[in-house]
Structure 1
Amino acid sequence: MNNNRIIELLEEQPRQYVSGEALSRELQISRTAIWKQIKKLESQGFEIEASRRLGYRLMSKPSQLTLPVLLKKLEGTALVRSIKLLDTVDSTQNVAQRLAEEGAPEGTLIIADHQTSGRGRHGRSWVSPAGKGVWMSLVLRPGIPLQFAPQLTLLAAVALCRALKSVTSLEIGIKWPNDLLIGGKKISGILLESTAEDERLRYVIAGIGVSVNLERGDYPPELLDVATSLLIESGGQIERSDVVAAFIREFEHLYALYQQEGFGPIRTLWEALSVTLHKLTRLYSPAGEFEGTPIGLDERGALLVKKSDGSIVPVFSAEMSAPKAGG
């Protein structure tokens, strides 16, 4: 594995340059091949400084997600029963769904270092580079009626928002239904996919993607105005295992609360964290588009929108534009 050997050689001389010639001689490959391997390492989150005259030196490594560290940080929790740490997958949702169909119990957690086809709501793709984010899916078997599935989406948004605020102290809010925003820019994706039988949920796969340590160069230009990361907003690297552990702890607490007391407490928490409410906006629903002011959630989890004529309508599925200034 040339990549691993290059890192080993650079680590042998911390913060010092190692010439391309020395690396080429040690690995018995051309200097052009060394350069290509360096570029591959950089795409995986390694920061390597290159000098035409001096060679290469390792400045920083991506935070590594390891099973011992995760288990240590999850001590005292009961929800997660097994963790599968994977290197590269198409989507953690796909892996979790296959395992759920095979009978994987509630609390099976799939985490990947890299997704090649990460996806969000409405089939959108999700930028998921190696070593820089949290890309995970959790198998749930809540045994509740199918119509209550949207409530779990809102619960996941509250859990993730509370978790990220605790890890970073950043001002993070929820845009309905489950987008997390900092200064109007998206930092995470939440996708719950379910399978039902006889109008009850057989299982739910809760997919969570968090842009933790992505830099501006990791995003395609067209996303720079709408997407951001915890690193960009905080100015420093965030330990990814802290993000995973904080989310699981929050989700476990809220999931137990939901099962004991229903949706009421979750609704109150969601409304307190929302950046959507009481601002005039335009919604694009299957029934058509209209303007209105979201005023809260109903007991089912629908967004209550007050229209210009004073009527209040529940909305279960819609795209929402940015709130209007002064609305």
Structure 2
Amino acid sequence: MANNVSDQEFSRPHKHIRLPGKRIHIFREVSSTNNVARQMAMAGAPEGTVVMSLFQSGGRGRMQRQWVCPPGQGLLLSMVLRPDIKIESIPQLTLLGAVVTAETIYLTTGCTAGIKWPNDILINGKKVCGILAEGSLSRRKVEYVIMGFGININLDPAQLPADCRDTSTSLNLETGRRVSRMEFLKRFMISWDEHYQNYAQFGQPYVRSQWIKKNITLGRQVTIKKDQDVIQGVAEDISDKGGLVVRRLDGTKQEFLAEDISLRG
């Protein structure tokens, strides 16, 4: 069992640890945990396989944005999932991952984290986590989904990239103390299993209800950039696909999918 594993275990070049129902592969450095998890999925890795790394040289977020975290100061992990869902339901997993992350942050630190649609986790208005879901399809069937999480755990201001020091934070900065990555990981896995099982049983209505409780987007004025268009309106709801439903200034409603837009507000 891994209950007595300390944070020092994460500094080894390569290691396996076990949490209930999980086999976790830990690397010192990879290009991206999503890339490694995808390779394992293609080789037949079972659902629940987890890849972690102290550092990733090519971490990325939505719309191919770069995700940077100094070695050993964050929780960088990806999970292999093999859900029995339709292709259009993959974005629901992103919403579910956001729910789990916000819940874990509260349970481990006491900080209230809010979800900015679709996949940013904010504390006091600053980003602490990004989530990226990537699926593989075969004959319009979901073969597997890789869920990637990058969570800033113990970064200090000097370790944040200069261009995002005003918009990013870490659990350490928000609490004033170091946070055990191992304890965070264990709590995260417990919460994930609970919510994922409920999602498998109850589907999209469950995700929607849980996400709405923790979101900070609905009811607010938003500015959406799609291609060359800039659209303003009020975020009103999320759709069955996980898209954002916006009431535009002319009163009409429009659904936007995460891969198509950049959201401000």
Scaled by the length of structure 2, the TM-score of the pair is 0.91
Structure 1 vs Structure 2: percent identity of aligned residues? 35
Q: What is residue 63 of structure 1 aligned with on the other side?
A: 7
The answer to whether the 8 A contact 2:85-2:142 is kept is yes
The equivalent residue for 1:226 is 167
Q: Which residue of 20, 36, 39 maps to 1:95?
A: 36
Q: Unaligned regions of 5+ residues in structure 1, if any?
A: 1-61, 323-327
Question: Which of the two has greater strand per residue?
Answer: 2
**Letter of the structure 2 residue corresponding to residue 253 of structure 1:** E
Distance, in Å, in 2 between the alignment partners of 1:65 and 1:203 is: 29
2:229 corresponds to:
288
Deviations 1:98-128 (A, max 9, x none): 1111111111100111112211111111112
Pair 1:206–1:65, CA change in 2 (3 A) = farther
CA distance in structure 2 between the aligned counterparts of 1:202 and 1:68, rounded to whole angstroms: 27
Point out the structure with max Rg over C-alpha: 1
Check 1:68–1:126 CA distance in 2 against 1; reply closer, same or farther (3 A cut): closer
SS in 2 for 1:64: helix
**Residues in 2 aligned to 1:206 and 1:65: alpha-carbon distance in whole angstroms:** 23
Partner residue, 1:271: 212
Structure 1 residue 296: Cα displacement: 1.6
SS at match of 2:134: strand
Matched, 1:126 2:67: yes
State yes or no: 1:254 paired with 2:195.
Answer: yes
Superposition map of 1:203-214 within 5 A = 203-214=144-155
Q: Distance in 2 between matches of 1:115 and 1:177?
A: 23
* Equivalent of 2:263 in 296, 307, 320: 320
Name 2:137's counterpart in structure 1: 196
Q: Which residue is equivalent to 1:30?
A: none
Displacement after TM superposition at 1:310 (Å): 1.9
> What's 1:136 paired with?
77
| Alpha-carbon distance in 2 for matches of 1:68, 1:199 | 36
User: Are the equivalent residues in 2 in contact too, given 1:187–1:229 (CA < 8 A)?
Assistant: yes
Mapped pair 1:299 → 2:240: yes
Task: Note if contact 1:191-1:208 (Cα within 8 Å) is conserved in structure 2.
Answer: yes
Q: 1:321 to 1:232 in 2, by over 3 A?
A: same
- Paired position in structure 1 for 2:91: 150
1:17-68 CA deviation, whole Å, 9 max, x = no partner? xxxxxxxxxxxxxxxxxxxxxxxxxxxxxxxxxxxxxxxxxxxxx9324599
Unaligned runs of 5+ in 2: 1-5
Offset at residue 298 of structure 1 (A): 2.1
Q: Is the 8 A contact 2:95 2:211 kept in 1?
A: yes
- 8 Å contact 1:280–1:291 — kept in the other structure? yes
- Name the residue aligned to 2:181: 240
The one-letter amino acid of 1:179's match is D
How much is the aligned-residue C-alpha RMSD, in angstroms?
A: 1.9
Aligned residues: 255
